Structure 1
């Protein structure tokens, strides 16, 4: 079996070598700090973007609801306008005595003198 051996190399103890090792440690620490900052800002951006997308979704849903309600109200308005027009025509007709007499004969089965009313069954 092969057992890994320790290298037989020793480090040189000089100011240059210690300065280089210190630079490597500082660079490593700096990279770690930058990575943590980047992760923090990325997560913060993700949360912010999620909140904005959620708000956008809610607004779109609200707009769709309001659009549907607007369409429904337009249809209801058109229906009420037609009804108003019919009622105004009915009001004009109610000023005519002949129309009132005809209406009374149809609705209340009133007859003129000498008339006989026959009620036929509807289909």
Structure 2
């Protein structure tokens, strides 16, 4: 037993006009949403570019900080080496030290002397 639907759809000019208005309103809402989507994409691009530059600058800063740390270590080593060489240069002005240094490092000796090398005798 099938029943016929009791609801009858009217197909007059008023109903057609109302349906047409609903379609226009739906299309208008779609266009607004599309516009807002483009605005959102544009705003996202405006934030992405500075963020990229900020991240790149941060990474550059970190690498430079690491380079500064390495250069300070190198400076400390070179400073220590320079100080040792300056101390040696001052000591080489003393004739007795020069004689001891030449005997220890280059095994110079006077006639009839024997030289025995001692490892801790030389300055570094």
**Interval containing the TM-score (normalised by the shorter chain):** 0.7 to 0.9
* CA deviation after TM superposition for structure 1 residue 11, in Å: 4.0
Question: TM-score, normalised to structure 2's length?
Answer: 0.73
- Which residue of structure 1 lines up, in the alignment, with residue 9 of structure 2? 9
| 1:89 corresponding residue in structure 2 | 87
Tell whether 2:65 aligns with 1:67: yes
- Structure 1 gaps of 5+ residues are none
The question of 1:38 aligning with 2:40 is answered no
Distance 1:82 1:119 in 2: 26
In the other structure, the counterpart of 1:48 is: 46
Higher deviation after alignment, 63-72 or 43-52: 43-52
Aligned residues: 120
Q: What do the CA deviations read for 1:12-64 (whole angstroms, capped 9, x no partner)?
A: 436xx84x556544432321121001111122223333333322222221111
Write out the 4+ residue segments of structure 1 that deviate beyond 6 Å after TM superposition: none
**TM-score normalised by L of structure 1:** 0.74
Contact 2:104 2:118 in 1 (8 A): no
The higher-RCO structure (CA 8 Å, 6+ apart) is 2
CA RMSD in angstroms, aligned pairs only: 3.2
Structure 2: where are the runs of 5+ without partners?
A: 120-124
Distance 1:50 1:118 in 2: 74
- Match of residue 56 from structure 2: 58
